[in-house]
């Protein structure tokens, strides 16, 4: 399957929320990046967007790009393009890995759990291969320097045989 993930991971009251991103292509994921946001996402509505085109997948928060996954198929890196994707929104119990590595369990006495959406849009575009300009790249570097808490491209413990190829391609 192909999948583009934008997920919020649970937290302890008062801890920052973790925004988890991942890209699956041809059934393979393991391309996670995680961020603590520069605001509390529970205090107000925010805009979370994914721009997916033949050149790249760009994840943005309130118009600020936080991650770009480039299409590097010519270098042997799978890119989701062979099948249509669907939009899903769900609340699910991922306490076995998502809450500090499974240390924090779901407090079921607080159920039912809810999510709210406002001004939801799923737009398609005929843009072909747009990528980030210098300003967008500078914003990504700022976010990643100040708010990224996990990047699969630096996790040598997880990939002892070598990091995935896209991690070393400029």
What stretches of 76-151 show up as alpha helix (H) in DSSP?
Answer: 134-147
Specify the pLDDT at position 154. 96
Return d(Cα 131, Cα 128) in angstroms, integer.
Answer: 9
The pLDDT of residue 111: 84
What is the edge-to-edge ordering of all strands in the sheet holding 56-61?
A: 48-52, 56-61, 64-70
- Rounded to the nearest 5°, which phi and psi values hold at 90? -155, 160
Tell me how many domains the chain contains.
1
Q: What number of other Cβ atoms are within 10 A of residue 70's Cβ?
A: 17
pTM, entire model: 0.87
At 108 the pLDDT is 84
Answer whether 152's CB lies under 8 Å from 30's CB: yes
Domain residue limits at 164: 3-168
Q: At 108, give phi and psi (nearest 5°).
A: -70, -15
pLDDT digits (tens, 9 = 90+) for 73-131: 999 999 998 888 777 777 777 777 666 667 777 788 888 888 888 888 887 665 566 77
Residues marked active site are found at 3, 7
pLDDT in the model for residue 100: 66
Q: What is the CATH number of the domain that holds 153?
A: 2.60.120.200
């Amino acid at each position: 399957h192909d999948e583009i993930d934008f997920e919020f991971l649970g937290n302890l009251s008062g801890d920052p929320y973790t925004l988890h991103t991942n890209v699956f292509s041809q059934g393979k994921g393991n391309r996670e990046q995680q961020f603590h946001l520069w605001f509390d996402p529970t205090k107000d509505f925010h805009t979370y967007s994914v721009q997916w085109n033949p050149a790249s997948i760009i994840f943005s928060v309130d118009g600020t790009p936080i991650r770009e996954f480039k299409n590097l198929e010519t270098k042997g890196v799978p890119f989701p393009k062979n099948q249509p994707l669907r939009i899903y929104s769900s609340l699910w119990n991922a306490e076995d890995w998502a809450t500090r590595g499974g240390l924090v369990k779901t407090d079921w006495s607080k159920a039912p759990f809810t999510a709210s959406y406002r001004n939801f849009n799923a737009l398609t575009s005929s843009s072909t291969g747009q990528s980030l300009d210098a300003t967008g790249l500078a914003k990504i570097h700022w976010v990643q320097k100040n708010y990224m808490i996990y990047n699969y491209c630096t996790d040598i413990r997880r990939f002892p045989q070598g990091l995935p190829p896209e991690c070393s391609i400029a």
